[in-house]
Amino acid sequence: MTFDSFLTTDIKFLKGVGPERATALANELNIRTFSDLLNHFPFRYVDRTKFYKIKEINPDMPFVQFKGKIVNAEIVGADKSKRLLAEINDETGNVELIWFKGIKWVAPKLKPNTEFIVFGKPTSFNGKINIAHPEIELASEENILIAKKLQPIYNTGEKLKSRWLDSKGIWKLQRTLVAQINKNIPETLSQEILKKHNLISREDAYKQIHLPDNHEMLKQATLRLKFDELFFLQLRLLQVKGIRKKTYSGFIFDKVGNYFNDFYNNHLPFQLTGAQKRVLKEIRQDMGTGKQMNRLLQGDVGSGKTIVALMSILIALDNGFQTCIMAPTEILANQHFKNLSKLLEKTNISVELLTGSTKQSERNSIHEKLQNGELKILVGTHALIEDEVQFFNLGLAVIDEQHKFGVAQRSKLWKKGISVPHVLVMTATPIPRTLAMTLYGDLDISVIDELPPGRTPIKTVHRYYAKHPQVFQFIKEQIQKGQQVYVVYPIIEESKHMDYKNLEEGFELIKKNFPEFKLGMVHGRMKPKLKDEQMKLFAAGETKILVATTVIEVGVDVPNATLMVIESAERFGLSQLHQLRGRVGRGAEESFCILMTDYKISSDARTRMETMVRTTDGFEIAETDLRLRGPGDMTGTQQSGILDFKIADISKDAQLLQYTRGIAEELLKTDPEISSSENVPILFELNRIKKAKPYWGRIS
């Protein structure tokens, strides 16, 4: 039998399956072939490697296994108090077994003077050790061998269970199959990698994952299978990245000239942080080499990404190219425009803004100045990617808040230039490194992991609704000190109606409590113009309290706002809470965030509150978020299917991910086409994966 025909054999041909169980396996577990079954991994193991002597057993032990002979078995009581009692002993003592249910199945099995294997939870009753509803099996040689294993536990389904395919039944199938894999599983790694990294063969890994000889072998098998998943993913992503780098050569920005130097020497309003300098250097190197830059710039809210973007832009200008910044919302685009204009105020560099609300006459003039190359920096929203927007020579595109833009939109930007521009993607939603490496595995990553000096960390507390009076008092004090306050309400699609009602009621309540202050309100149902007006009033300090939904999540910058109260905080995700909190703490004054919830919240919600109170580090928060929600819920990962790991767990296997990436990089360095005879197994597996998961290459 060849590899392929073994692994792709229809599951119904496995001994013990047949057509009916095969249908149930397909329907409930998506298992159709031998390969599918082998890749249905246990989710945990029960350690039954040890047989105890009866005298060693005490009621504090969780589960025990021992061998013994039935001395006596009888059914006592009647009706509801009917039970089966059996006394079993070995040479060191005896134990009582007891059944209240299933008596008519068990009783006939309990032959006297026959040795059994017993597994169950010991308890103490009337000074005697006793085990209720133990698992019990004849102590045949075969059963002893099996019993002494680490026993895998599998997911299964209701229909399967009714066809005797509970976890134990699945295990039995696995054992039947494992007994048949005699050199039928192809090796997917090279001998060199196997040796160098001390990995067991893929075939052994499958055998050991389902039927481990011992703890050590189980560890080896798990490692090997995770290794494969992560290694091939990284290899694929790096390959895509390599192909793109080869296909698109980038503009070479090798000059640092007047624009940059003048700004750096005369107009930079502060000293760059170490992290900003480092990141800027990475960007400069990227753009200077002739490669096309595709870089993800991660940095927490307030870490100072704007200045890095601007200085990258100045390098592009020094090399004679145009640039643009694209933001996901009009508010954000406005903010960028305002910031850049201010920073560049004393230079002769012009910046223009293009959004949906730009007037036609202005639009025309912008189009013209873009096409003749006069305009060097264009800031805008999606309006930038409309067809009539044509650049003279777009050299660098900065994209803010990447996840709000689709892949298609990004590639549309590429088509604007004479060649593909350098791309710098900025995100303030920290993505754990592991996830970033996977999701954006074909992008290079820079991280600003240091805040500008002089910031006082935001103080965060969690309060129950009963504390509303005190919270209102605190709001009052802040405003009397001259500060401003956000009060945030959740609005989610599923309960929109109720949520809006709560928002309105909240607004009324605050109005009643603070008749002396001017209030504002913003939410998603408002006309953009009205929303803008409200934002402006708040930014100008005219309104003191802004009642809002998450529309204020990104980019709004009002340094005078020092307090954020988040109502029903348990209904927000961690990343969202973090993002919201970033709206305060932007000025010199100490800032506060109060998370309001009911007394009764889920334990996950409590962890979220505790995390927010404990730390302001976006990356730590993102790691916790990943752990709580799992990768499936993280931004953009659902559609890509890229995180459908069978055995690896991105939130736990970060180190292995990093390690396999290194090995994949090394491989591509020494054998870029993966064409050496040594690496044939790798090429084979890679091609198989490409066929099975073609979308991998298209995620960014």
Residues contributing to the site for ligand ADP (CB under 6 A): 270-273, 276, 299, 301-307, 428, 452
Q: Which is nearer to ligand ADP, 260 or 489 (CB)?
A: 260
Q: What are the helix (H) ranges across 49-166?
A: 103-106, 141-147, 158-162
Query: Residue 419 Cβ, how far from ligand ADP at the closest point, in Å?
Result: 28
Could you please report the per-residue DSSP string of 345-384?
A: TTSS--EEEE-TTS-HHHHHHHHHHHHTT---EEEESGGG
Query: Residue 494 Cβ, how far from ligand ADP at the closest point, in Å?
Result: 30
Inter-CA distances, 78 with 66, 85, 132, 375, 641, Å: 30, 13, 18, 95, 57
Inter-CA distances, 27 with 12, 159, 543, 672, Å: 13, 9, 59, 41
Q: Which is nearer to ligand ADP, 301 or 317 (CB)?
A: 301
Residues ≥6 apart with Cβ < 8 Å to 680: none
Q: Which is nearer to ligand ADP, 42 or 582 (CB)?
A: 582
Q: How many Cα atoms sit within 13 Å of 312 on the Cβ side?
A: 35
Q: Which is nearer to ligand ADP, 177 or 428 (CB)?
A: 428
Query: Residue 561 Cβ, how far from ligand ADP at the closest point, in Å?
Result: 14
- The dihedrals phi and psi of 119, each to the nearest 5 degrees, come to -140, 125
Query: Residue 234 Cβ, how far from ligand ADP at the closest point, in Å?
Result: 29
Q: Which is nearer to ligand ADP, 156 or 429 (CB)?
A: 429
Query: Residue 467 Cβ, how far from ligand ADP at the closest point, in Å?
Result: 31
Report the C-alpha gap between 327 and 402 in whole angstroms.
9
Query: Residue 618 Cβ, how far from ligand ADP at the closest point, in Å?
Result: 10
Q: Which is nearer to ligand ADP, 305 or 608 (CB)?
A: 305
Which residues share a beta bridge with 397?
324, 423
Q: Which is nearer to ligand ADP, 272 or 613 (CB)?
A: 272
Write the single-letter amino acid at 549. Answer: T
Residue with tokens 């800031």: 379
Query: Residue 508 Cβ, how far from ligand ADP at the closest point, in Å?
Result: 33
The 10 Å CB-count burial string (b at 16+, else e) for 549-578 is bbbbbbbbbbebbbbbbbbbbbbbebbbbb
Q: Which is nearer to ligand ADP, 273 or 323 (CB)?
A: 273
Query: Residue 452 Cβ, how far from ligand ADP at the closest point, in Å?
Result: 3
Query: Residue 617 Cβ, how far from ligand ADP at the closest point, in Å?
Result: 14
Q: Which is nearer to ligand ADP, 554 or 657 (CB)?
A: 554
Q: What are the helix (H) ranges across 540-672?
A: 574-581, 603-614, 618-629, 637-640, 654-670
DSSP 606: H
Query: Residue 303 Cβ, how far from ligand ADP at the closest point, in Å?
Result: 4
Residue with tokens 């306050």: 485
Query: Residue 339 Cβ, how far from ligand ADP at the closest point, in Å?
Result: 7
DSSP 696: G
Contact 479, 517 (CB under 8 A): yes
The 10 Å CB-count burial string (b at 16+, else e) for 596-611 is bbeeebeeebeebbeb
Contact 394, 414 (CB under 8 A): no
Residues ≥6 apart with Cβ < 8 Å to 286: 293, 295, 422, 444
Q: Which is nearer to ligand ADP, 430 or 506 (CB)?
A: 430
Report the C-alpha gap between 421 and 293 in whole angstroms.
8
Query: Residue 309 Cβ, how far from ligand ADP at the closest point, in Å?
Result: 8
Report the C-alpha gap between 111 and 100 in whole angstroms.
19
Query: Residue 440 Cβ, how far from ligand ADP at the closest point, in Å?
Result: 18
Q: Which is nearer to ligand ADP, 562 or 651 (CB)?
A: 562
Q: Which is nearer to ligand ADP, 310 or 565 (CB)?
A: 310
Position of minimal CB gap to ligand ADP: 304
Q: Give the helix, strand, coil percentages of the chain, each rounded to 5.
A: 45, 20, 35
Q: Which is nearer to ligand ADP, 24 or 398 (CB)?
A: 398
Query: Residue 308 Cβ, how far from ligand ADP at the closest point, in Å?
Result: 8
Q: Strand, helix or coil at 548?
A: strand
Residue with tokens 């019993």: 147
Could you please report the per-residue DSSP string of 194-259?
A: HHHTTPPPHHHHHHHHHS-SSHHHHHHHHHHHHHHHHHHHHHHHHHHHHHHHHHSBPP------HH
The 10 Å CB-count burial string (b at 16+, else e) for 643-660 is beeebbbbbebbebbebb
Q: What is the largest CA-CA distance in the chain?
A: 100
Query: Residue 304 Cβ, how far from ligand ADP at the closest point, in Å?
Result: 3
Q: Which is nearer to ligand ADP, 299 or 506 (CB)?
A: 299
Q: Which is nearer to ligand ADP, 28 or 450 (CB)?
A: 450
Q: Strand, helix or coil at 81?
A: helix
Q: What are the helix (H) ranges across 130-214?
A: 141-147, 158-162, 167-180, 191-196, 202-210
